[in-house]
Amino acid sequence: MEEIDEMLETAQMFYDGKEDYKRLTGKIACNLFFEPSTRTQYSFQIAEEKLEMKVISFNKKSSSIKKNESFFDTVKTFDSFGIDLLIIRSLQNEYYKELAGKIKTKVINAGDGTSNHPTQSLLDILTIKQEFGFIKGLKILMVGDILHSRVAHSNLKIMKRLGAKVFISGPNEYLEKDAIFIPLEDGLLSCDVVIMLRVQFERHDKKFNMSFQEYNEKFGINSKNIGFMKKNSIIMHPGPVNRNVEISDNLVECEKSRILKQVKNGVFVRMAVIEYLLRNK
């Protein structure tokens, strides 16, 4: 918990322009993304460059993965290059267990399958803190494909630990059994933060059986239900947003939306995490 507070404080200082960026000059980071990513991948790259690190971005398509090299051997290869930091995103849940004790380079998890997305959670928490000043006691609602969302799984764990009351809503087949369900309308009426989540089509075995319009009417934020939200409540989304599915097009950048602020915070949070990890190296 202290570690989280420390990283969030540093991130806020970076955000406020109070911290010196040039603290990791010349250290080498390799960004290994085995799954597509825009926000996470490029905000890590921007964070590294702001910290004056040298950045190598791995391209799966032009690598020996194409010659059937395994995930493990690819990571071991980068580890042997003698670099300072690996940022890894993988399809595989808890991929880091396979690496534990077998590589020397420090690793930051940039998302593993449906399990965890720790830096997303940190930037979500920073965004909420900037709004309310605290997390404890806040009512936070996550809506959508909870079951396949690593963002939901990370947030459920960490936000509860920080004392928030976390609720979930969405289609029955995408709910987690051990989280507290609330119907969307009740959640909008009572929660301070509403985190909308993308339907994770790429992780489904069964075909998604609903039109986007029907999904938006039942489980999205739309012009009919946004009026239920509390006065000072906010809408968040980790992105990418499917406009007119999770959120109606005209509401993505509405006055309650903090979606682009989350993106901005992503850079500062990732700078803080990198700095925390490499500071005493």
**Cβ–Cβ < 8 Å for 177, 222:** no
Q: Is 220 in the site for ligand ASP (CB under 6 A)?
A: no
Is the Cβ of residue 189 or residue 241 nearer to ligand ASP in the bound state? 241
Q: Is 198 in the site for ligand ASP (CB under 6 A)?
A: yes
The torsion angles phi and psi of 165, rounded to 5 degrees, stand at: -100, 110
Site for ligand ASP in 227-246 (CB under 6 A): 238-239
What six digits make up the tokens of 92? 């595989």
What six digits make up the tokens of 116? 């965890």
The distance of closest approach from Cβ of residue 27 to ligand ASP in the complex, given in angstroms and rounded to an integer, is 25
Binding mask 59-88 for ligand ASP (x = CB under 6 A): ------------------------------
Torsion-angle region of 94 (φ positive above 0: left; ψ -120 to 50: alpha; else: beta): left
Contacts (Cβ under 8 Å, ≥6 apart) of 80: none
Give the residue nearest to ligand ASP (CB): 198
The upper half-sphere exposure of residue 250, i.e. CA atoms within 13 Å in the direction of its Cβ, equals 4
The distance of closest approach from Cβ of residue 147 to ligand ASP in the complex, given in angstroms and rounded to an integer, is 13
Is the Cβ of residue 65 or residue 263 nearer to ligand ASP in the bound state? 263
* Rounded CA separation 178/96 (Å): 25
* Rounded CA separation 156/142 (Å): 9
**Cβ–Cβ < 8 Å for 55, 29:** yes
Q: Is 111 in the site for ligand ASP (CB under 6 A)?
A: yes
Is the Cβ of residue 40 or residue 222 nearer to ligand ASP in the bound state? 40
Q: Is 270 in the site for ligand ASP (CB under 6 A)?
A: no
Strands 180-181 and 165-169: parallel
Site for ligand ASP in 22-61 (CB under 6 A): 40
Is the Cβ of residue 84 or residue 155 nearer to ligand ASP in the bound state? 155
Contacts (Cβ under 8 Å, ≥6 apart) of 83: 28, 29, 30, 56, 105
Q: Which helix (H) or strand (E) holds 120?
A: helix 118-132
Q: Which of 14, 34, 83, 150 binds ligand ASP (CB under 6 A)?
A: 150
Q: Which of 8, 146, 151, 166 binds ligand ASP (CB under 6 A)?
A: 151
Contacts (Cβ under 8 Å, ≥6 apart) of 196: 143, 144, 220, 221, 235, 236, 237, 241, 246, 247
Is the Cβ of residue 117 or residue 270 nearer to ligand ASP in the bound state? 117
The distance of closest approach from Cβ of residue 235 to ligand ASP in the complex, given in angstroms and rounded to an integer, is 15
Contacts with ligand ASP: how many residues (CB under 6 A)? 8
Is the Cβ of residue 83 or residue 221 nearer to ligand ASP in the bound state? 221
The distance of closest approach from Cβ of residue 31 to ligand ASP in the complex, given in angstroms and rounded to an integer, is 14
Binding mask 114-143 for ligand ASP (x = CB under 6 A): ---x--------------------------
Residues near ligand ASP (CB under 6 A) are 40, 111, 117, 150-151, 198, 238-239
